[in-house]
Structure 1
Amino acid sequence: MFVLFAQVAAVLFVIRLVLFVILHLIPGGIHPVRDTVSDYAASTSPVTRVLSTCSSWAAAAGWAALGVSVLTEPEFGASREGVGIWLIVLAAVLMIMPWVPTDGPGQRTTVRGRVHLLLAVAWFTIAYSTIGPLGRLLGAAGISGPADLLSVLNVIAMIALIALVVSLIVRPLKSRTFGVSERVFILVVTLAPLVASLGIAGIVGG
């Protein structure tokens, strides 16, 4: 059963990546460098808003499926419980986010926008914090190839996250580097669970 859930997760993360690319091809007035990824959900274009929602929900379903896969594979040991539960919590956060969209570019800050920011911080934090543990679970189970790749992705995610935070603190950098660092981070934290899913499903091993 855990293999099936891992396969489903892999498919969903591929869909997430495809939708993420399409959002940048049909941006709906959202700038890929100056604006945040959350701004796609507040676009004036209905197509862009729908694509953004579908992208979030594909990722949410992917993390939920991966969480169930981890929880139902006894070979991962007792530590799988914490990782699996956090993956499902992450899925819940992403599932909720489209219902609480951010304030659009140039709009005044609202309570809804602040709640969205808190949810965004939560999903960034949880997504990053699950990469290392996933790699250790796979490594302990002898799935060394994906485990090694997760270690590399963990470092890249850390660098992107640091760049993102610096972009927020150093105001002149925000319009130049925040959008890029955020997109790199999101790409990496989507590739990481995809790699883990492929490893658990036995599609990628070694």
Structure 2
Amino acid sequence: MKALLVAAGDEPGKALFLDAVQQAELLIAVDGGLRVFDKYGVEPAFVVGDMDSVEPSLLKKYERKSCFLTAPSEKDDTDLTLAVDKAKEEGAEEIRLLGATGGRIDHLLSNLMLLKYTFQREMSLTIEDDIQEITLHIGTFHISGQPGQTVSIIPVNQKATVTASGLYYPLEDLVLTNGRPRGVSNLMLGNRAEISSDDFVFICKDKKVPLCRKEK
């Protein structure tokens, strides 16, 4: 099952949101993310959070339509973590998360850690906005895209040894560390690249493809 979660960060554009809604089988608003659903006339199946960033009038409008899972303001888990848990409980295997970038940096860092949390719970998570998408990987995997699309490979832990083909800057057992930024702003050569990593890495893909594409 595919789930869409929308949080209260930077609001996704209309096209991105409606595309995500169309592809999802489970819709969850995370606290202030309810505003996005309301703006485009889409009703979520669940609204999860302590509701500290939702206007009382909006809560009243949806309290009889959607299933509210209200958490206390003083809690151990973030609203998004609770929403991920709910998606898992409902049978979700893939999660697309919008509204999780921008705003407070501490929230963004916490949201990035959810990539590993969902992986450990045997779910895949994509954090996405109108500019970029971020996923988590380990082992050998493939990524798809367009020629000229920017791809960055960022180690999650202390270091990751990475080999990659199908990128403008080929990597051969390159050790990426979190003490020296490397692996940023590589480029897709074609529509597919293969990457191997011995530890977790973030894959950040820009959606905008430069008009002037590099050729190897």
Provide the TM-score with structure 1 as the length reference.
Answer: 0.26
Provide the TM-score with structure 2 as the length reference.
Answer: 0.26
Relative to total residues, which structure has the larger strand share, 1 or 2? 2
